[in-house]
């Protein structure tokens, strides 16, 4: 075991996710940090996995919903070091995307060094998943879909507040979600997302169903 007097800064670093705001190039009616965004993604990813497992046929991969949720919780942690790079830049071309992924992997390693050595491997798998198995690839797709849905919900919130800045982004993100082509994603978009556009009174009365 480690020295009982040793102190580790990993979780204190994670707490700093609250200081990193998303949508840096756009005017926001309310800022959104990556800590609260990660919660949204985790909730949605867990739901998508439950739906996936419900729709899956015999012999299909059925991931553990809580494993999916864990990956979602940590999916943006490396941005503590890299910052939130705007999507148009991150995916501008293959070279930039590949370079950014390398930076993410190095950032994951740097964060894991703030843990006791015997914990590092488990956390590195969460921060920089290898995506070697088909199940890992499916989990990655579910988390990415949840990330897109969370971004779309952010656009809905901004539009409802009267901010036109997010209209174009919302349309583009919705198209990218439709293109994912997963039934669990389509179900979530059809049955759960519309409620984000109604008032509290409507939700409380059941009109948001």
The closest of 22, 10, 59, 26 to 150, measured between CA atoms, is 22
Q: Is 5 left (phi over 0), alpha (psi -120 to 50) or beta?
A: alpha
pLDDT in tens, the chain (209 residues): 566 678 999 999 999 999 999 998 899 999 999 999 999 999 999 999 999 999 999 999 999 999 999 999 999 999 998 876 666 666 667 777 677 688 888 999 999 999 999 999 999 999 999 889 999 999 999 999 999 999 999 999 999 999 999 999 999 999 999 999 999 999 999 999 999 988 888 888 876 66
Backbone angles phi, psi at 22, to 5 degrees: -90, 170
pLDDT given for residue 84 in this prediction: 64
pLDDT given for residue 175 in this prediction: 97
pLDDT given for residue 102 in this prediction: 85
Give bridge partners of residue 21 from the DSSP assignment.
Answer: 33
The model carries a pTM of: 0.90
pLDDT given for residue 103 in this prediction: 85
3-state secondary structure of 200: helix
pLDDT given for residue 40 in this prediction: 98
Dig out the tokens for 92 from the structure.
């501008």
* Domains defined for the chain, CATH in brackets: 10-205 (1.10.3210.10)
């Amino acid at each position: 075991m480690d020295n009982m007097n040793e102190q580790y800064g990993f979780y204190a670093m994670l707490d700093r996710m609250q200081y990193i705001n998303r949508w840096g190039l756009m005017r926001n009616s309310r800022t959104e940090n990556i800590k609260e965004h990660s919660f949204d993604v985790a909730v949605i990813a867990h739901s998508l996995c439950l739906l996936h497992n419900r729709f899956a046929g015999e012999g299909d991969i059925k991931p553990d919903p809580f494993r999916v949720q864990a990956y979602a919780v940590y999916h943006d942690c490396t941005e503590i070091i890299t910052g939130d790079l705007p999507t148009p830049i991150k995916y501008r071309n293959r070279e930039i995307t590949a370079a950014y992924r390398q930076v993410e992997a190095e950032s994951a390693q740097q964060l894991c060094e703030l843990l006791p050595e015997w914990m590092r491997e488990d956390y590195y798998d969460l921060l920089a998943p290898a995506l070697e198995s088909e199940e890992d690839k499916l989990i990655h797709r579910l988390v990415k879909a949840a990330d897109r849905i969370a971004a779309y919900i952010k656009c809905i919130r901004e539009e409802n507040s009267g901010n036109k800045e997010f209209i174009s982004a919302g349309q583009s993100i919705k198209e990218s979600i439709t293109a994912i082509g997963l039934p669990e994603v389509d179900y979530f978009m059809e049955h759960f997302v519309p409620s984000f556009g109604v008032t509290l009174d409507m939700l409380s009365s059941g009109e948001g169903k």
